[in-house]
């Protein structure tokens, strides 16, 4: 492709030193002609402690320092940072590199505050329209205003299927139901008052378009569509969904 934005949603911070993260991001930014959006996130306790064998603690401080270092390297090409968790100093010289936006997977109040103050926005998952309008958008927007910013991106990841509504809800629950057992997502679903299937955007073309418009009205600046194949002819379902999404570009 030559025009489409490319993004990571999301790279866990604990698996990469911030220097390495910035180096990889800038290299990718050059390779893609300046079309990268870097999405980073803390991951989850069970993943970090069980799979990576690392301590999942001091998360707000970790996120603040990590993003500060990455942002400085991406925007300035050098950093001289001394914090409680990271001490990083040096210059990064990647030919023809330009800064890329940095988005943070943020759901809790403290991480939303970090994303609003020092990143370019957030990427969500398992967040419904009520949660978006009453929790995510107000908190990140308030943090951004405190530092004089109003250009925050709120990228909302959501399962989408143009298909029979009941069949689509069942498929979404089957595929993604395990997310409701992760504490951070469980809290978001509790705000919504439902389960994974309840936040999915499913139904015929008219219903899906209406629900996507509802997400936009709730504060989403970008929809990250996870297309869910449904039914005995999943390819047709996916094509219907893709065709609808294509038709909505620039209209929502």
φ, ψ at 156 (rounded to 5°): -110, 115
Do 212 and 201 meet the contact criterion of CB atoms below 8 Å apart?
Answer: yes
Structure tokens at 187: 């809290």
CA 181/CA 242 separation, integer angstroms? 29
Cβ-based neighbours of 210, under 8 Å, separated by 6 or more:
none
pLDDT in tens, 170-212: 999 999 999 999 999 999 999 999 999 999 999 999 999 999 9
Q: Give exposure, 144-177, as e/b (b: 16+ Cβ within 10 Å).
A: beeeeeeebbbbbbbbbbbbbbeebbebbbebbe
Residues 8-46 pLDDT 10s: 999 999 999 999 999 999 999 999 999 999 999 998 888
The model's pTM is: 0.92
What's the length of the chain? 252
Q: What's the DSSP call for residue 232?
A: S
Residue 40 burial by Cβ neighbours in a 10 Å radius (0-12, 13-18, 19+): buried
């Amino acid at each position: 492709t030559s025009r489409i934005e490319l993004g990571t949603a999301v790279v866990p911070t604990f698996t990469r030193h911030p220097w390495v993260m910035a180096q990889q991001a800038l290299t990718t930014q050059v390779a893609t002609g300046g079309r990268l959006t870097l999405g980073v996130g803390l991951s989850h306790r069970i993943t970090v402690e069980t799979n990576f064998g690392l301590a999942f603690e001091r998360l707000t401080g970790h996120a603040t320092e990590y993003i500060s270092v990455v942002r400085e390297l991406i925007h300035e090409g050098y950093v001289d940072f001394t914090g409680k968790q990271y001490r990083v100093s040096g210059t990064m010289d990647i030919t023809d590199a330009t800064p890329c936006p940095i988005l943070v997977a943020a759901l809790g109040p403290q991480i939303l505050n970090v994303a609003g103050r020092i990143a370019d926005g957030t990427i969500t998952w398992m967040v419904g329209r009520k949660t978006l309008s009453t929790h995510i958008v107000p908190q990140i927007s308030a943090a951004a205003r405190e530092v004089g910013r109003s250009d925050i991106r709120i990228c909302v990841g959501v399962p989408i299927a143009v298909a029979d509504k009941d069949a689509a809800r069942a498929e979404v629950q089957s595929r993604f139901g395990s997310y409701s057992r992760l504490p951070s997502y469980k809290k978001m679903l509790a705000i919504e008052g439902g389960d994974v299937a309840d936040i999915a955007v499913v139904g015929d073309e008219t219903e899906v378009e209406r629900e996507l418009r509802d997400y936009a009205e709730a504060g989403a600046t970008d929809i990250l569509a996870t297309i869910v194949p449904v039914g005995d002819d999943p390819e047709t379902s996916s094509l219907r969904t893709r065709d609808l999404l294509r038709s909505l570009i620039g209209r929502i």
